[in-house]
Structure formats: C-alpha cells, structure tokens
C-alpha cells in the first residue's frame, strides 16, 4: 500500500468512526522518573519499551536521556547544553535538539553513538521531533524573516512543510507509512494539529479544546495529544480508531501526552502538587 492510499484510508476512518459507539478504554499508569532528578519529562517510547526524554538533575542542569530495563544513559550533545531527546525509532536512533552557545536551538540525530547536527541550510534554529524506522525525520526550523516552518528530512534532502492557513508550523512525529503529525499556530495564537503525508493535510483537533497539540503517531495510526481547556489546564488525549479518549494522570495537576508505541504504551509528563514535572507511562 503506498503512502497516498494510507492517508486516504485515515481520512475515511476518522469520518466513519465518529458516528460509531466508542468502545471502553482504560489506562493503567506508572510513574517514570529519573532517580535524584528534580524534574523528569518522558517524550517518546519505542516498541522495545526504550524511553527517551529530558530531566533536570539535582544541580539544576538539564540532560537528555535514554532509559531501558532500568538502565539510564545520559544523551548530552557535546556541542551544546540543555539536550532534549524527543523521539526514538525501533532501531534505537534518537532525535531532538540542544541549546547552542548563542542560546539558539540545534536539531540533532544520535545514532550508533554518534551525534550529527541536522537542519536546512540557512536556518536560524532547528528542532527534530520525530523519526521513523526508515530514518525520515520530522521537525521545524526558523528562517531569517522570523517565520517557523516544518521540515521533512529523508537523510539526503529537506522538504519544507507549511500547513495551509498556519502562522507557524511546528512539526511533530512521523510513522513508517510517512504520515506526520503537524502542530501549527493559527491566527488567534492557538495550537492546532493536522495529519499529513507531506502533500495533503487534514486538521484533527481534540473536540472542545482551546489548543490541541498532536505529539506522536503509532504505526497503527493511534495519535497522542496534549490539549488545553478553557481554564488553561492541560490534559492528554488518545485518538484510537477514530475516537478521542481524554485522560489525566491521577496524581497530577496537569497531564501532557508526548509519545506512543505500537504496543499501546503512552508516555508523557504530569505536574505534581508542587508544580514540578514527573514522567509517566500509561498502558491502554
């Protein structure tokens, strides 16, 4: 099945399932924190349950990390500081960004122990947010005019992704069929989300949300969101088989959904009673 037909199937699925009775889905939560960290954010998980994210240590320094089977590995790009690891594919390749000496953002690929800077030529800042098993990377970059655009990098060339009608396009995740989530800012300054194959776009927002940010998409086309309500509180949502399921981490004041794998595992962040970030995993 080619990429275009997969995208067409997604559109049909959304339209059909919205009228169907939603099955019951329950979520089982687990707290996932880096030991001794002040704050932990888990951004992605692959099918081997290897998680990546970012944490703030006891000295207030931020690090990227990979966690597998209870073993924690720091992933700190040597060219900068404040490393964020946003996505990991099933081959173990990690993408994210770090802060440069000029306090800009620089996207990177971490693969087989090697860091590589990525981003379109002439970009004023870059972030890599998603990578699939073919090595295709979804992210965003700033231009010299102050604009922000999404990009798709196939390992050789960059394609600019601009959601029609968006003030800024921020990029997102990508699955093995090449379907991407694209978060974008509308004329009111709110976040909206679209699914795209790089050519066609379909806006898919959490119903009733003030802002709706799609963070990840599985190879089964489940999508995980963070969304903001009218009271400026944040929640997570799962789009599964064309139905939205809103959820909150039971111990948290704010819940953010960031990553999802093909085995029905979601990862993200919640804020505790003190307002500090803690990581979680949820199985559905």
Under the banding of pLDDT at 50, 70 and 90, the label for residue 3 is: very low
| Paired tokens of 198 | 């790089």
In this structure, of 19-23, 134-138, 261-265, the range with the lowest mean pLDDT score is 19-23
Q: What is the CATH number of the domain that holds 97?
A: 2.120.10.30
Q: pLDDT digits over 208-224, tens only?
A: 999 999 999 999 999 99
Residue 104 has pLDDT above 70, yes or no: yes
Each residue's pLDDT tens digit, 148-173: 999 999 999 999 999 999 999 999 99
Look at residue 19 and tell me whether its pLDDT is greater than 60: no
| Residue 72 pLDDT > 60 | yes
- Asked if the model's pLDDT at residue 17 lies above 80, the reply is no
Number of structural domains in the chain: 1
Residue 204 confidence (pLDDT) above 70: yes
Percentage above 70 pLDDT, the chain: 92
- Inter-residue contact 193 to 211 (CB < 8 Å): no
Q: Please report which confidence band the pLDDT of residue 23 belongs to, taking 50, 70 and 90 as the band edges.
A: confident
Confidence bin at 106 (pLDDT 50/70/90): very high
Residue range 65-88: mean pLDDT, rounded? 97
pLDDT at position 22 is: 62
If you write DSSP's letter for every residue of 30-75 in order, what string do you get? EE---TT-SEEEEEEE-TT--EEEEEE-TTS-EEEEEEETTEEEEE
Under the banding of pLDDT at 50, 70 and 90, the label for residue 280 is very high
d(CA 78, CA 189): 35
Query: pLDDT at position 21, please?
Result: 54
Q: What separation in angstroms does the CA of 207 have from each of 48, 180, 246? A: 32, 20, 10
Quick check: 260 pLDDT over 70? yes
Coil, strand or helix at 5: helix
Q: What percent of the chain has pLDDT over 90?
A: 90
User: For residue 80, what are the domain limits?
Assistant: 3-283
Q: How many whole angstroms separate alpha carbon 258 and alpha carbon 86?
A: 9
CA distances from residue 103 to 34, 240, 280, 282 in whole angstroms, order as listed: 25, 38, 29, 34
């Amino acid at each position: 099945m080619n990429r275009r037909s997969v995208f067409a199937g997604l559109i049909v699925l959304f339209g059909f399932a919205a009228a169907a009775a939603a099955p019951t889905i329950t979520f089982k939560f687990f707290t996932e924190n880096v030991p001794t960290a002040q704050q932990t954010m888990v951004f992605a998980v692959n099918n081997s349950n290897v998680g990546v994210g970012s944490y703030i240590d006891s000295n207030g320094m931020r690090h990227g990390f990979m966690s597998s089977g209870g073993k924690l590995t720091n992933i700190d790009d040597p060219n900068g500081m404040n490393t964020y690891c946003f996505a990991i594919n099933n081959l173990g390749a990690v993408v994210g960004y770090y802060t440069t000496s000029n306090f800009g953002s620089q996207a990177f690929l971490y693969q087989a122990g090697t860091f590589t800077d990525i981003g379109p030529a002439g970009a004023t800042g870059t972030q890599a947010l998603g990578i699939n098993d073919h090595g295709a990377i979804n992210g965003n970059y700033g231009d010299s005019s102050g604009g922000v655009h999404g990009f798709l990098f196939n390992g050789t060339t960059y394609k600019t992704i601009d959601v029609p009608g968006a003030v800024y396009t921020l990029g997102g995740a990508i699955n093995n069929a090449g379907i991407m989530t694209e978060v974008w800012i509308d004329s009111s300054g709110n976040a909206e989300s679209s699914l795209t194959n790089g050519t066609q776009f379909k806006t898919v927002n959490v119903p009733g949300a003030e802002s709706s940010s799609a963070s990840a998409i599985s190879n089964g086309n489940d999508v995980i969101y963070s969304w903001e309500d009218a009271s400026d509180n944040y929640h997570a949502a799962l789009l599964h088989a064309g139905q939205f399921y809103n959820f909150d981490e039971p111990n948290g004041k704010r819940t953010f959904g960031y990553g999802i794998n093909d085995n029905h595992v979601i990862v993200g962040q919640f804020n505790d009673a003190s307002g500090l970030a803690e990581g979680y995993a949820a199985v559905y």
